[in-house]
A and B are shown apart, each in its own frame.
Chain A
Amino acid sequence: MEELNRLSLLEAADGLGKGLFSARELTRACLARIDELDGKIKAFLNLTPDVALGQADLADHRLVAWRQRGGDRPPLVCGIPTAVKDVLCTQGVVTTAGSMILEGFRPPYTATSVQHLLDAGMVMLGKTNTDEFTMGSSTEHSAYGPTHNPWDLQRVPGGSSGGSAAAVAARFCPLALGTDTGGSVRQPASFCGVTGLKPTYGRVSRYGLIAYGSSLDVVGALARSAADLLPVFQVMAGHDSLDSTTSHRPVPQITLNGSELAGIRIGVPKEYFIEGLQGDVAAAIHNATDVFLSLGADVKRISLPHTDLAVPVYYILAPSEASANLARYDGMRYGPRHPSQDLWSTYARTRGSLFGAEVKRRIMLGTYALSAGYYEAYYGQAQKVRTLIKGDFEQAFQKVDLIACPVAPTTAFPIGAHRDDPVSMYLEDVFSLPANLAGIPGLAFPVGFDGKGLPIGLQLKAPQFGEALLFRAAHAYQSVTEWHKEMPRL
């Protein structure tokens, strides 16, 4: 079938619903596209075509049964080929977190977020590349090599959900799952010209998500539009007794009606328009706010005064949590073991040789920040400044309903650009970190291209549990613009 892989999630769901093609045909089209191009892009770490085709057949049975007997239509994600970031555990399917220390690891269970989608009929094509334990903003820190941006193969796709973003951009599949701890769904969405959702903290279960920063990690998704992501969100979200940090708040049934935003107040934070912001990125953001105005929204300048503290706060808190979360990787119960003369050496050499440099850097940073004598000055102080950052948003959301801003200061940078200076990489996250620190949801979508033809993303941020408004505003924008329909030439 011609290029079924190019269909968006909703287009594919429409075709499947009408019986124009089968989930098996759709899956085979995606696998063929991957076969043709992933040698250059390297989005996938592990392809599971047999699993996928089996799931596609089950989806086909469900859809056929519905067409013959009526009743409720299976969920829109039924039969949709999907890429899953390799930090989400998938029972029996190798899950590495992009690390050597989990090489060959087959989880004995599946992450709840993934299971919900599988139960709804999602077809899992395979596992996508990520910075090791999601620590990075470019997917260059994967132990298995970088993923290449489909818009320019010499450039990064962003990170850490770079494999997932690249897979959607390259039309390998209409949907990919990612995770966002400091921007890891939104920034690769921006760099790859796709739409990415970071839900509110606690909105989606983290059970089965290989943990990096437990107070920051969120499971999210990437697709070609906000409307595509809505049915995914509806299935993934909700309380889970296996994750005590999930919220009991009911998941709203969200409908998207048209493109009007009258009465919606959108704030643009002045602190995000800094010297390091690439000129054409700033221009694209301003053009996008003009579109919001034309849709009837009220756009105003706001202040988030503690914005410049987000990077130091995050790079104390996240590594601290990581140092605790990664203590379990000791070669004893899973993963390879570096044999040595005694227990201590086995720990130290297993971890020393199988963790990558960025991971070790963050473990060391976190260990230091939590150590006796330094805990209050570093971790304790960072937790208090976090309260100030969170407070900026609480105050802003008394005056506006949404915040609109750039996702990253630049468009996709060349592979290797930050190699010599890890701190310069950390500064790429300045606009995306605050949402994780405040626990609020964010949705990133393309709003233009720079002078080199690289995608530019804008992100909308909403108050906690305010996803409905995010979807509504992004969908309104995408109803009157075409950026999200552009495809890289491959």
Chain B
Amino acid sequence: MSLSLAEVRHIARLARLHLTEAEERDYQQQLSSVLEHAARLQTVDTEHIAPTATVVPMDAPLRADEVRDCPPPADILANAARVERGMFRVPPVMEPGP
């Protein structure tokens, strides 16, 4: 299973990762190698096998719809690169990406 450079660039776009040209080539080779190993899985008959949705039996618990204390906003903002008037300051969201 060999990935093309175009596929590698597509994956990098989906993953929001900027790669150098050298990285693109390295990952092309390394990812292809891992996927070749993973191709083994295609030979396994799983027609009547259910996927493992939860490894240990569990359900989705509910709780009462009660208001609880939140951490102070200052604590949450403390790690941000840019903060303005109690908000995370980010580049404009409305412009289209590549």
Whole-angstrom distance between the Cβ of B8 and the nearest chain A Cβ: 8
Report B41-66 residues with CB < 8 Å from chain A CB: 41-42, 44, 46, 49-56, 58, 60-61, 63
Q: Which residues of A contact B93 (CB under 8 A)?
A: 343
Complex Cα–Cα for A357 and B42 (A): 27
**Residues A163-210 near B (CB distance < 8 A):** 200-202
A114 interface hit (Cβ, 8 Å): no
Q: A325 on the interface (CB 8 Å rule)?
A: no
A368 nearest in chain B by CB position: B11
Chain A positions within 8 Å of B58 at CB level: 202, 244-245, 247
Q: Are A108 and B76 neighbours in the complex by a CB distance under 8 Å? A: yes
Q: Roughly how many angstroms separate A333 CA and B82 CA in the complex, as a whole number?
A: 8
Answer whether A385 and B31 are a contact pair too, CB < 8 Å, given A201-B56, A333-B80, A346-B91: no
Report the Cα distance A164→B41, complex, angstroms. Answer: 34
A363 pairs with B37, CB closer than 8 A: no
The number of residues on chain A lying at the interface, defined by a beta carbon within 8 Å of a beta carbon of chain B, is 72
Q: Which of B53, B60, B71, B88 contacts A108 (CB 8 A)?
A: B71
- Encode A386-430 as 1/0 by CB contact (under 8 A) with B: 111010000000000000000000000000000000110010000
Complex contact A312–B15 (CB within 8 A): no
Q: Given A108-B71, A367-B15, A384-B50, are A309 and B78 neighbors across the interface (CB < 8 Å)?
A: no
Contact A312 B41 (CB under 8 A): yes
- Could you tell me the distance between the alpha carbons of A368 and B35 in the complex, rounded to whole angstroms? 10
Q: CB within 8 A of A364: which of B17, B18, B44?
A: B17
Contact among A323, A331, A352, A388 for B19, CB-based, below 8 A: A352
In the complex, whether A231 has a CB less than 8 A from a CB of chain B is: no
B44 to chain A, nearest CB (A): 5
Is B27 within 8 A of A367, CB to CB? no
The 8 Å CB contact of A381, one of B3, B37, B41, B61, is B41
CA distance A207 to B93 in the complex (A): 30
A287 CA / B51 CA spacing, docked (Å): 38
Q: Is A365 an interface residue (CB 8 A)?
A: yes
Residues of B within 8 A of A343 (CB): 90-93, 95, 97
Partner of A422, one of B34, B63, B97: B34
In the complex, are the beta carbons of B41 and A347 less than 8 A apart? no
Q: Nearest-CB distance from B12 to chain A (Å)?
A: 7
Quick check: A311 and B37 within 8 Å, CB to CB?
Answer: yes
Question: B30 near A: Cβ within 8 Å?
Answer: yes
Chain A 350-384: CB-based contact to B (< 8 A → 1; otherwise 0):
01110101001101110110010000011011111
In whole angstroms, how far apart are the Cα atoms of A247 and B54 in the complex? Answer: 12
B residues in contact with A449, CB < 8 Å: none
Which of A132-140, A258-266, A334-342 participates in binding chain B?
Answer: A334-342
Most buried by A among B27, B46, B61, B92: B46
Judged by a CB distance under 8 angstroms, whether A303 is at the interface is no
Q: Does A46 have its Cβ within 8 Å of any Cβ on chain B?
A: no
Q: How many Å lie between the Cα of A335 and that of B91 in the bound state?
A: 16
Q: Which of A315, A323, A340, A344 contacts B37 (CB 8 A)?
A: A315
Is there a chain B Cβ closer than 8 Å to A332's Cβ?
Answer: yes
Tell me the minimal C-beta distance from A428 to chain B in angstroms: 14
Q: What are the residues of chain B within 8 A of A346 when measuring CB–CB?
A: 90-91
The answer to whether A316 touches B51 (Cβ under 8 A) is no
B83 and chain A: residue at smallest CB distance: A333
**A363 with B15: in contact, given A332-B88, A423-B37 (CB under 8 Å)?**
yes
> A351 and B37 in contact (CB under 8 A), knowing A332-B80, A387-B50, A387-B51?
no
11 further contact pairs, Cβ within 8 A, besides A422-B30, A423-B30:
A245-B58, A309-B44, A334-B79, A343-B97, A351-B16, A361-B30, A363-B17, A364-B8, A365-B35, A386-B55, A387-B46
Q: Can you list 19 residue pairs at the A/B interface with Cβ under 8 Å?
A: A108-B79, A202-B58, A308-B40, A323-B15, A333-B80, A340-B91, A344-B16, A360-B17, A361-B30, A363-B15, A364-B17, A367-B14, A378-B38, A380-B51, A383-B51, A383-B53, A384-B49, A385-B41, A390-B55
Of all A-B residue pairs in the complex, the 5 with the closest CB atoms, nearest first, are: A352-B18, A383-B51, A439-B55, A337-B81, A384-B46
